[in-house]
């Protein structure tokens, strides 16, 4: 990492040339700070598979089926972002740069 490289967050290195990479394994990531999450591999599972700490049936609270989704590093599988969203919903960025 050069002296002018920085961190986008704890998991992502933002290089001085504008490129992004994983802070854990160095894998180059596609896209930029505003869209890299949408270009990552995704892991999705039903809420019942997440674990005992998460209520398994979102229909008790909302009128849609929900899915647990993680956006992961293509190099080392570190989960960069985790969300619970309605089934089929696209990612909605909460990142501001
Ligand atoms: Zn990685």
Q: 77-89: per-residue pLDDT in tens? A: 999 998 888 888 8
From the CA of 57, how far away is ligand 1's center (Å)?
32
What local confidence, expressed as pLDDT, does residue 2 receive? 45
Residue 1 lies in a domain: no
CA of 80 to the centre of ligand 1 (A): 9
Residue 81 lies in a domain: yes
- The pLDDT of residue 22: 98
Burial label for 75, CB within 10 Å (0-12, 13-18, 19+), is: middle
Q: Which residues are bridge partners to 14 per DSSP?
A: 6, 20
Q: How far, in Å, is the centroid of ligand 1 from the Cα of 73?
A: 5
**Three-state DSSP state, 47:** helix
Give a yes or no: residue 97 inside a domain.
Answer: no
Instruction: Classify residue 94: in a domain, yes or no.
Output: no
Q: What is the pTM of this model?
A: 0.79
**Buried b / exposed e along 20-53 (16+ C-beta atoms within 10 A):** bbbbbeeeebeeebeebbeebeeeeeebeeeeee
Instruction: Provide the domain count of the chain.
Output: 1
Asked if residue 62 is part of any domain, the answer here is yes
Q: Which residues of the chain fall below pLDDT 70?
A: 1-3, 91-97
* Residue 42 resides in a domain: yes
Which structural domain range is residue 70 located in? 6-86
């Amino acid at each position: 990492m050069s002296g002018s490289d920085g961190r986008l967050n704890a998991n992502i290195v933002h290089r001085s040339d504008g490129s992004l990479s994983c802070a854990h394994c160095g894998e180059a990531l596609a896209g930029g700070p505003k869209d890299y999450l949408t270009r990552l591999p995704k892991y999705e599972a039903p809420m019942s598979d997440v674990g005992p700490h998460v209520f398994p049936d979102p229909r008790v609270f909302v009128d849609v089926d929900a899915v647990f989704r993680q956006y992961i590093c293509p190099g080392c599988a570190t989960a960069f972002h985790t969300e619970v969203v309605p089934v089929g919903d696209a990612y909605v960025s909460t990142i501001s740069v």
